[in-house]
Structure 1
Amino acid sequence: MKVIATTRKAQGTGASRRLRRADKLPGIVYGGNQPAAPIELEHNPIFFALRKEKFHASILTMELDGVEQLVVLRAFQMHPYKPQVMHIDFQRIMPDQEVTMRVPLHFSGEEISPAVKVSKCIISHTVSYVEVACLPRDLPEFIEVDLSKMEDGMTLHSTELVVPAGVRVVTDSVVASVITPVEEVVTAPAADAAAPAADAAAAAPAADAAK
């Protein structure tokens, strides 16, 4: 995926407001043994790119003032209520240096797992991504999580995931867990509980007649 940017010469709050009014997006690119550079981009292409999962977990090509470099998306800020990106950060990467990235998880096989089919349990997806480290060329677009072997009481950790060659998971976290539904037990009211009240009501007329 390619990002087109130009060097942002005017800086400051006022300059950023003027950029946004012109449908431009202020940002910054840093890292790669180079000084941080303020940049500006067309707003709408970035706004729609941010809706794509791949944009968040891919090595991007940034053409800055006509010169291409490899970058990854590191952060962005949205307007509190408008459909507008306020600021965006990219980090330069080197082809021969390891990069740490969040990679989305794609779950499958849940409906045919023994936990669901036999035990009638629910499989909870605890996280939607994991952090991995690898060379840029080895970065996967997503990691497939096979839940077809999950059974009642099982928990799947990120370190148990099957990842492509050259990729390693750097965080140990629970990815999915099997939850056993709790059956609600309805207790019938005890028949004896109403007996004292009934006896008292029956005894009242007899007591009046004896007076």
Structure 2
Amino acid sequence: MAEGYVLKASTRDRVGKGAARALRRQGLVPAVIYGDKKPALPIAIPMKESTLVLHRGGFMINLGTIEVDGKSHRVIAKDYQLDPVRDDLIHVDFLRVAKGSELTVDIPVHFINEESCPGLKEGGMLNVVRHTVEMTVPADSIPDELIVDLATAQVGDSIHISSIDVPQGCIPTITDRDFTVATIAAPGGGSTAEDEAEDEAEDAAEEEADDKAEDKAEDSKD
């Protein structure tokens, strides 16, 4: 599990677009802490420090601590918005994380031994179907990544979730099939593996759309 972060915050007395813009002019980011059957807590976090935490990587899978008025809140970022020009944070939604709880997060997939992969040496192409895998994981041991070893992968091979060493206690949210994570497509295309990858990609896109719809159903936090 990657190193967490600590951010100091202050409570927000006012919410809404006007109040949010005023905070940003002061170098602050409007945010909210919600969940764990407690009332939502509107807060403001420092823009510079929080943007640095974001661009350090792993923002959506690392637990953080938000200190508000002398009280520490253990959280994980569930959503955020960026300024389209400066790439600074302009809003963050934090979920409270209770000790011993489980979370649903997207774990990045990392490929190793591409240089020695037989299929790639023969001219095949690595076709990544899922750059992340949605998993239910223990809050206290969120994996940084899933490792896919390509050392023996051949042209036409499909790499399924069952062939990946999943950390103990972590369970993919898709349980009805042994879904494809990547394929080694034949040179020139036209392989069955590519067709399978396209189907998986469509499934992944549909799942992402469903997730976004569920997220939008949450109360807005500005």
Place the TM-score, normalised by the shorter chain, in its bin.
Answer: 0.7 to 0.9
Instruction: Output the CA distance in 2 between the equivalents of 1:42 and 1:125.
Output: 36
Maintained 8 Å contact 1:26/1:38? yes
Maintained 8 Å contact 2:60/2:105? no
Q: How much does 1:130 deviate?
A: 1.1
Q: 1:99 aligns with which of 87, 98, 103?
A: 103
- 1:180 partnered with 2:175: no
The answer for the alignment partner of 2:34 in structure 1 is 30
Instruction: Output the CA distance in 2 between the equivalents of 1:144 and 1:86.
Output: 33
1:64 counterpart letter in structure 2: V
TM-score by length of 1: 0.80
Q: 1:141 aligns with which of 126, 141, 144?
A: 144
Instruction: Output the CA distance in 2 between the equivalents of 1:168 and 1:159.
Output: 11
The answer for the alignment partner of 2:128 in structure 1 is 125
- 1:68 partnered with 2:72: yes
The answer for the alignment partner of 1:40 in structure 2 is 44
CA offset digits 1:109-162 (Å, max 9, x no partner): 122122123x32111222221111121122112222211121111111234321
2:28 counterpart letter in structure 1: K
Instruction: Output the CA distance in 2 between the equivalents of 1:74 and 1:179.
Output: 34
Instruction: Output the CA distance in 1 between the equivalents of 2:85 and 2:162.
Output: 38
Unpaired runs of 5+ residues, structure 2, are 190-222
Q: 2:90 aligns with which of 86, 90, 95?
A: 86
TM-score by length of 2: 0.76
What is the CA RMSD across the aligned residues, in angstroms?
1.7
Instruction: Output the CA distance in 1 between the equivalents of 2:77 and 2:10.
Output: 16
The answer for the alignment partner of 2:112 in structure 1 is 108
Mark the CA change 1:159 to 1:95 in structure 2 (over 3 Å): closer, same or farther. farther
The answer for the alignment partner of 1:168 in structure 2 is 171
Q: How much does 1:3 deviate?
A: 2.2
Instruction: Output the CA distance in 2 between the equivalents of 1:167 and 1:177.
Output: 23
Residues 9-28 of structure 1 correspond to what in structure 2 (within 5 A)? 9-28=13-32
- Further displaced range: 27-36 or 106-115: 106-115
1:170 counterpart letter in structure 2: T
Q: How much does 1:174 deviate?
A: 2.6
The answer for the alignment partner of 1:152 in structure 2 is 155
- Count of equivalent residues: 182
Maintained 8 Å contact 1:126/1:176? yes
Maintained 8 Å contact 2:108/2:144? yes
Q: How much does 1:8 deviate?
A: 0.9
Q: How much does 1:173 deviate?
A: 4.2
